[in-house]
Amino acid sequence: MRLETRPPNIEGKGEITARDLVRNCLRMRPDRIVIGEVRGAEALDMLQAMNTGHDGSISTVHANSARDSLTRVEMMLQMAGLNLPMRALRQQIASALDVIVHTGRLSDGSRKVLGVSEVVGMEGDAIQLQELFLYERRGTDEEGKIIGEFVSSGIRPTFLNKLKASSHEVDLSVFEYLK
């Protein structure tokens, strides 16, 4: 089911926020939740939904890297008005997220997946990431288009057991580092 935000009318009434939609969709008992873009306090509702059995949910956030996306989500959680220590907010993020897929626009105007990172948990007060795949730029062709390839870092993700438990076959060769 598709739900959409709505700005307030001329009298300032009738607004439907992303937070309203996330809360209401939870009442519908969805298997998956897809939030087009998280920009504010709805990040709290999204993370709470992901931490309450809605595995496979997905959202987007604008940031310059996987690490920066975590910082952006932290800032959005603070916008929600929670008076929680930063460590508690980071634990919420680390327990809700498994993977961050970073896409970007390259200098030739093309868009590419630039990296796939796994959120592996907390170490001290920091959320730990490990890079699973990255885009390696090799050069440019005669037309100025960027040439490159998506390569594995050689690290197998810790969420493989979750995939196997959900009856997903995983070809482990995709995680082999090939140089």
How does pLDDT run across 19-52, given as a tens digit for each residue?
888 888 888 888 888 888 888 888 888 888 888 7
DSSP for residue 6: B
**pLDDT(121) > 90:** yes
Residue 54 has pLDDT above 80, yes or no: no
pLDDT at residue 160 greater than cutoff 80: yes
- How large is the average pLDDT for residues 65-70? 95
CA angle, corner 118, sides to 160 and 21, nearest 5? 100
